[in-house]
Amino acid sequence: MRLLRLWQNIVSFRWGGNSLAALYVSVLSGVVLSWQFDASEPYYSSGSLELVVPCGSFWRASHFYSSQLFFLFLVGHYLVVLFNRRREALAKGVRSASEVRSGGKENWGRLYLTLPVSLLLLFTGYVLRGDATGYSAGMIGENITLAFPLAGNFLNPLLFNVSQAGMRVVYANHLIGLGVVAGALAWPHLRRYRIRVIEHGWLVVALLGFSLLVPAPFDPFRVGDVHISGPWFFVGVQELLRYLQPFWGGIVFPFIAVWLGYLALIYPTDRRPLLGLMFWGTVYLVFTLAGSL
Amino acid sequence: MTEPPREIDPIANPDRRRWLGGVGQLLAVVGGSLLFLPVLKFIDFRLNPRPRLIKVSRLLRPGGFIIEAEFVIFDVPGAPVAVSRKCTHLGCRLNFNEQENLLICPCHQSRFTRQGKRVSGPARRDLPLYQVAVASGSERNSFVVTVS
């Protein structure tokens, strides 16, 4: 009974609304940070924000934690939508996939793309820290991009190019490019479902309170360091790259999850993409745990 | 008496019109691609960064090392060598582990000797070496490294 109530609470939780409220905090704190952040000296700049600039640690923390929360709520939103669509489709007795696809006003493919784009936004944020974690994540991101067959040399200057341009490209993408893409993808959806931030006041207050107390992570370069863990969502890929070539570990393996996630959304009555996604998630969790030890 | 060959009016003949339209489209695609080629070649070209001279003013003890952001200067038999700190696997910054006497990548644990030779790990290539010049008149406490 308790489990059932817990499940009902999870399903009825306003994942999307909370995600958007966290995004508002993230965007506003990001705008404030941009007044002090210098992309030509990212490490010095992040360190100064943490130690010297008045309230710098608070703004950095609120940007960091709100961004993490935005993404986590977004994933929760996706999973609940997935669950609801499957339940509705089964209840209606929908037979063919095309019948499901044609229903509703949403352009699911377009909307779904906001997930990987948001992940990229989160990743570029990590890179911009310019600390040991950020620098390594940027270099790995660049080398994975270069491993794209044929398009690698073309994509890298658009996405990372850390070794040649420092943080210039990453900063431009984090601040403008990816934000514009994510906004354009989600725009019809956001016009349909609006929120009032006051209804999510508890979340905003909790976020700001937490940011006052707990500084955002910052990993200085240590000369003897022999192990650096990447961003939490990237640890599994980082571990995989020890055994696989960048093309397989950094492109094909994550792409499988993106593709399965899309299939699960547009074919809600089909169990195979769901099972595939669960299997992928289990494998990824194992690699993440192995990389964290 | 033979009749003169009749001209086929493409407007009156839809098949021929379609065929001509297809040829036109094909030519447009080929022409467009040819125009796009110089753009691709231009974007794809990677100019090697200009070599930079980096002055290091620190004492290199016998058998010791000096660690900088982009390289490590090691005192090895013969002349000092500057070894790149950029891992040849995925570009992470290597650290020197004195206990193992090896350069170790903190991201994926590739290992390299003081001469930049790969020992183990996912990296496949040795590390690049940079040219080191001992500044004239100095007692091994001033070096100029050419990073290329």
pLDDT, one tens digit per residue, over A74-103 is 999 999 999 998 888 888 876 555 555 555
Q: Which residues of A are less than 8 Å from B95 in CB distance?
A: 222-226
Residues A130-170: pLDDT tens digits?
999 999 999 999 999 999 988 888 899 899 999 888 899 99
Question: pLDDT higher for B142 or A243?
Answer: A243
- pTM of the shown model: 0.84
Each domain of chain A, given as residue ranges in start order, spans 2-217, 234-293
Q: How many CB atoms lie within 10 A of CB A52?
A: 10
Q: Which residues of B are less than 8 Å from A139 in CB distance?
A: 86, 90-93
Q: Answer whether CATH 3.30.565.60 is correct for domain A2-217.
A: no
Closest-approach residue (CA) in chain A for B68:
A223
Cα–Cα dist A96/A267, whole Å: 9
Chain A contact probe: residue of B86, B108, B124 with most A CBs at under 10 A: B108
Average pLDDT over residues A13-17: 89
pLDDT at B32 (0 to 100): 84
SS3 label, residue A81: helix
Closest CA to B20 of B8, B6, B3: B8
Q: Which superfamily does CATH assign the domain made up of B52-147 to?
A: Rieske [2Fe-2S] iron-sulphur domain (2.102.10.10)
| A223 contact B CB<8A | yes
Closest CA to A132 of A197, A229, A264, A29: A229
> Closest Cα of chain A to B32: distance in Å?
19
Each domain of chain B, given as residue ranges in start order, spans 1-46, 52-147
| A127 contact B CB<8A | no
> Closest Cα of chain B to A35: distance in Å?
27
Residues A209-268: pLDDT tens digits?
999 999 999 988 887 778 888 899 999 999 999 999 999 999 999 999 999 999 999 888
| B91 contact A CB<8A | yes
Average pLDDT over residues B17-35: 87
| A242 contact B CB<8A | yes
Average pLDDT over residues A44-59: 94
| B76 contact A CB<8A | no
Closest-approach residue (CA) in chain B for A247:
B90
Q: Which residues contact A293 (CB under 8 A, 6 or more apart)?
A: none
Average pLDDT over chain A, rounded to whole?
90
Nearest to B106 among A142, A227, A241 (CB): A227
List C-alpha distances in Å: A116 to A168, A251, B69. Answer: 22, 13, 33
CB A266 within 8 A of CB A97: yes
